[in-house]
């Protein structure tokens, strides 16, 4: 493991990982880093929230600062990311300069652009909902399906940048905005999935791969609200979902944890979107699996052997989301803990702005439906906006 | 919960805990603090090892500095400890001044002195091996049992300050040393236990208490080498051990996690020693229980509701101990991870001096004996001194 060898020349034997972005994903990498003695360093804009209060070493700055990124790379063995809103050209340049970037710039370039993702799926022969690039109102008018979803290719997350079955007026407004902002748009055939699925996996540069059990994701307002593990689907679908996940990871040469979101629709499994990093659909792995997605991410980017992904118990995860009521889940910690002595509460040190994920609750229970019910209950008590 | 209310007046709703001492126990409090959004601050002598690299806020100084302790108390809601080598008079003074100290100074005073512990056990009617205070060679000569263990009342840990069945020459040397150093000595009847047990529990100031399953501890050279959970003993003994643990905690008015070490000998359960803090005999709870001893310690000292202590799976824990070979387990992380994909490795960022605990390995397995075998195997691969 070359990164360890480098470190050992000038100090104790510590492998270190630099993280671009200091949100909850970076924050949740810290517990496994503590366990394994891995040193983390974040490039963070606001060191008072997310990963800031819990990771000793940080560089304060934006994720597209060449100086800050070079300082992060200089101080660590490998650089990874906690989001995809990056200067992709700069990341590619750094990689050319010798920065060990995992996932690599080519993977990030596909993941950061939904149009590139769709083109990659088609090129790789992976089933995915039909789509077109939308450059003009004429493109949209010529689409071959009535119901559609309009998406900005870049910059969207948690429902932002996605318009489901927009009205003609709304679609026209989006096109005008996109033309002005220089953002590419795509339209996808709207599908009505029987279930939304996600497969989380981790892959190391050495090519080792571990795949977590497929989960059901429950969406609301374009945002993942809850996850049930395992997804209650026939074994053949679960096997297919895992195979699709593995194909994506191999073809994209992913290093680290990756999530592949899918639709189960009309007896088919379609690939929807990918994220080459720990993902909301894998938060339950902290409490429900032998090795969490965060630990396996660190192990993978350092090219260490990966940990067993097995589900120790069925489980459900519900996000704590900021609500318009102004209730802060941090003020309801005692009530949440009292409500269910086996519930696992995770808070991200984030102010609860509306529609912002500020924490999550995981419950392990032999009955995954009961787990979901129990997790919703704790989430409701803690005052996040819950949409069952 | 008063501590939360105080915090909320001048910032985001964060409960904070100050820890006197920055070793591995403080280090292992950080993962649950990250999850629950609790802020930690350590008073630490060497910020480069143990908790130092993973807890953002620290005060560098000795644990008996009045200025440093007052600064720690001022910056946090409640003060707790990671060891008992303290200035007990100073801790009592701070408590009188209004510092919220959990466990309290009276509890610490008993726990820090093995003679005070024994006198407490007798006063509380708790069964314990017979003992005498040893002030002179005559006291020792007059002991009513042939085999005995000589102990310094204060300052010992991990086998230091304990002499099992010493020769007359060795005993004389210990007495001379103790007289010169002003250290009190006690002699205990040497027992030959069928098994050594430990009960870990957590108790909050509100009086809530949770008790973990009794475990078997495996000692070597006076140090805990391994733990098997649950202890393979009849249910009646397990119930008795839990009851004894609860009695100790109630009578000592413990706040936080506490370990009670016991002997199973001649069909009796005898109380041996106590530690009012997270303890080596509870490290397996991180990976094997719904709520770890470290999380319940934080919840207890903050008077938050306690978490379920249930064992999710039988498990075994083996310590990684510095050896004379000079092998550093941190250099063998990749080999350890490769050896067993479900093994949970914990490193403490400590240099591997001989007989120093620098990490531990936990394996969950339906068969606790197989768990122990697997954990030893990983520990051996990582090069710590292993004594099966």
**Which range among B5-19, B155-169, B276-290 has the greatest average pLDDT?**
B276-290
d(CA A71, CA A66): 9
B351 interaction partners in chain A (CB closer than 8 Å): 12
- Taking a contact as any Cβ pair under 8 Å apart, which residues of chain B between 295 and 354 contact chain A? 299, 304-308, 310, 312-313, 328, 330-331, 333-334, 337-338, 341-342, 344-349, 351
Instruction: Tell me what the mean pLDDT of segment A163-173 comes to.
Output: 94
CA distance to partner chain A, nearest, from residue B27 (Å): 7
Average pLDDT over residues B95-121: 96
Please identify among residues 32-71 of chain A the ones whose CB lies closer than 8 Å to any CB of chain B: 33-37, 39, 53-56
Smallest CA–CA distance, residue A16 to chain B, in Å, is: 12
* Residues 6+ away with beta carbon under 8 Å from A9: none
Distance from the B110 Cα atom to the nearest Cα atom in chain A, whole angstroms: 31
Identify the pLDDT of residue B387. Answer: 67
CA A150 vs CA A146, A154, B91: distances in Å: 12, 12, 64
CA distance A5 to A279: 30
Cβ-Cβ contacts under 8 Å, A341 against chain B: 290-291, 305-308
Calculate mean pLDDT across residues A348-367: 95
| Greater pLDDT, A257 or A354 | A257
Choose the closest CB to B305 out of A28, A54, A337. A337
Q: Which residue has the tokens 């090219």?
A: A303
Averaged pLDDT, B252-256: 97
Q: Is the per-residue pLDDT at B5 higher than 50? A: no
Average pLDDT, integer, range B123-144? 95
CA A368 to each of CA A337, A364, A371, B307: distance values in angstroms, whole numbers, following the listed order: 20, 8, 5, 20
Give Cα separations from A211 to A145, A201, A264, A296 (angstroms).
34, 4, 18, 10
With 0-12 / 13-18 / 19 or more C-beta atoms within 10 angstroms meaning exposed / middle / buried, residue B248 is buried
Tell me the chain B residues in contact with residue A346 when contact means C-beta distances shorter than 8 Å: 35-36
Give yes or no for a cis peptide into B103 (omega within 30° of 0).
yes
Other beta carbons within 10 angstroms of residue A364's beta carbon come to 23
Q: Which residues contact A289 (CB under 8 A, 6 or more apart)?
A: A212, A308, A309, A310, A311, A312
- Give chain A positions within 8 Å (CB) of B15: 333
Structure confidence at residue A1 as a pLDDT band (50, 70, 90):
very low
Q: Report chain A residues whose CB lies below 8 A from the CB of B330.
A: 12-14, 37
Interface contact flag, B341 A36, Cβ < 8 Å: no
- Chain B residues closer than 8 Å to A28 by CB: 34
What number is the average pLDDT over the span B325-350?
Answer: 95
Asked if A261 contacts A245 with a C-beta cutoff of 8 angstroms, the reply is no
- Each residue of A275-300: pLDDT tens digit? 999 999 999 999 999 999 999 999 99
CB B312 within 8 A of CB B350: no
CB contact under 8 A, B37 and A4: no
* Complex ipTM: 0.94
Contact A346 B35 (CB under 8 A): yes
Chain A hits for B294, Cβ within 8 Å: none
Interface check for A228 against chain B (CB to CB < 8 A): the answer is no
pLDDT for residue B8: 45
Say whether A346 and B14 touch across the interface (CB within 8 A).
no
Q: What is the pLDDT of residue A326?
A: 83
| Residue B383 confidence class, pLDDT cut points 50, 70, 90 | confident
Q: How would you classify residue B322: left for phi > 0, otherwise alpha for psi between -120 and 50, otherwise beta?
A: beta
pLDDT at B92: 97
pLDDT for B325 equals: 83
Radius of gyration of chain A (CA): 20
As a whole number of Å, the CA-based R_g of chain B is 20
**Cβ distance of A308 and B342 shorter than 8 Å:** yes
A25-60 confidence digits (pLDDT tens): 999 999 999 999 999 999 999 999 999 999 989 999
CB contact under 8 A, B37 and A347: yes
% of chain A residues with pLDDT over 90: 88
Residue A107 to residue A276: CA distance in whole angstroms:
8
Q: What is the pLDDT of residue A8?
A: 45
**Residue of B54, B333, B345 lying closest to A56 (CB–CB):** B54
Overall average pLDDT of the B181-187 stretch: 94
- The closest of B303, B249, B306, B310 to B285, measured between CA atoms, is B310
Task: Please determine, for residue B285, whether its predicted confidence score (pLDDT) is greater than 50.
Answer: yes
In chain A, beta strands by DSSP E: 16-20, 39-44, 57-60, 78-81, 131-134, 148-152, 162-164, 185-189, 195-203, 209-211, 215-220, 223-229, 256-265, 268-275, 315-321, 344-347, 357-364
Residue A159 has pLDDT above 90, yes or no: no
Q: Give A304 to chain B, closest Cα distance, Å.
A: 6
DSSP secondary structure code for residue B311 in this structure: B
Tell me if B330 and A14 make a contact (CB, 8 A cut-off). yes
Which 8-state DSSP code applies to residue B289? Answer: B
Nearest to A1 among B334, B344, B351 (CB): B334
> Mean pLDDT over all residues of chain B?
93
Across residues A85-91, what is the average pLDDT? Answer: 93
Quick one: pLDDT at residue B109? 95
Q: What is the mean pLDDT of residues A245-267?
A: 97
B231 touches chain A (CB under 8 A): no
Express each pLDDT in B201-248 by its tens digit: 999 999 999 999 999 999 988 889 999 999 999 999 999 999 999 999
pLDDT of residue B388: 73
A384 touching B (Cβ < 8 Å):
no
Indicate yes or no: CB of B35 within 8 angstroms of CB of A31. Answer: yes
**B45-82 pLDDT per residue, tens:** 999 999 999 998 999 999 999 999 999 999 999 999 99
Length of chain B, in residues: 388
Sign of CA dihedral B81, B300, B32, A329: negative
pLDDT at residue A323 is higher than 90: no
Q: How many CB pairs under 8 A join A and B?
A: 132
Q: Give me chain A's average pLDDT, please.
A: 93
């Amino acid at each position: 493991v070359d990164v360890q060898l480098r470190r050992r020349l000038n100090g104790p034997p510590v492998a270190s990982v630099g993280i671009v972005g200091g949100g909850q994903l970076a924050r949740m990498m810290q517990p496994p880093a503590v366990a394994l003695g891995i040193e983390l360093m974040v490039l963070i804009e606001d060191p008072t929230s997310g990963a800031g209060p819990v990771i000793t070493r940080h560089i304060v700055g934006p994720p597209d600062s060449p100086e800050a990124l070079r300082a992060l790379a200089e101080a660590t063995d490998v650089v990874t990311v906690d989001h995809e809103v990056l200067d992709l050209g700069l990341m590619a340049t750094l990689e050319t300069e010798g920065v060990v970037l995992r996932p690599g710039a080519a993977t990030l370039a596909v993941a950061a652009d939904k149009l590139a993702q769709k083109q990659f799926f088609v090129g790789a022969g992976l089933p995915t909902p039909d789509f077109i690039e939308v450059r003009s109102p004429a493109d949209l008018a010529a689409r071959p399906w009535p119901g559609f979803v309009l998406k900005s290719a870049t910059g969207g997350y948690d429902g932002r940048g996605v318009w489901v079955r927009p009205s003609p007026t709304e679609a026209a407004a989006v096109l005008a905005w996109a033309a002005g902002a220089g953002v590419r748009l795509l339209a996808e055939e709207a599908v009505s999935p029987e279930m939304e699925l996600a497969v989380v996996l981790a892959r190391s540069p050495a090519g080792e791969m571990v795949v977590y059990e497929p989960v059901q994701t429950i969406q609301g307002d374009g945002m993942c609200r809850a996850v049930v593990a395992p997804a209650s689907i026939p074994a053949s679908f679960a096997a297919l979902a895992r195979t699709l996940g593995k194909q994506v990871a191999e073809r994209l040469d992913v290093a680290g944890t990756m999530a592949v979101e899918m639709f189960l629709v009309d007896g088919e499994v379609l690939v929807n979107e990918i994220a080459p990093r720990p993902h909301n659909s894998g938060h339950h792995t902290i409490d429900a699996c032998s090795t969490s997605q965060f630990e396996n991410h660190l192990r993978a980017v350092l090219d260490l052997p990966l940990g067993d992904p097995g589900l120790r118990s069925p489980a459900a995860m519900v996000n704590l989301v900021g609500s318009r009521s102004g209730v802060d889940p941090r003020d309801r910690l005692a009530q949440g803990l009292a409500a269910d002595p086996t519930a696992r509460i995770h808070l991200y040190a984030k102010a609860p702005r509306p529609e912002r994920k500020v924490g999550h609750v995981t419950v392990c229970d032999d009955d995954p439906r009961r787990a979901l019910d129990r997790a919703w209950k704790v989430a409701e008590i803690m005052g996040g906006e819950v949409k069952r």
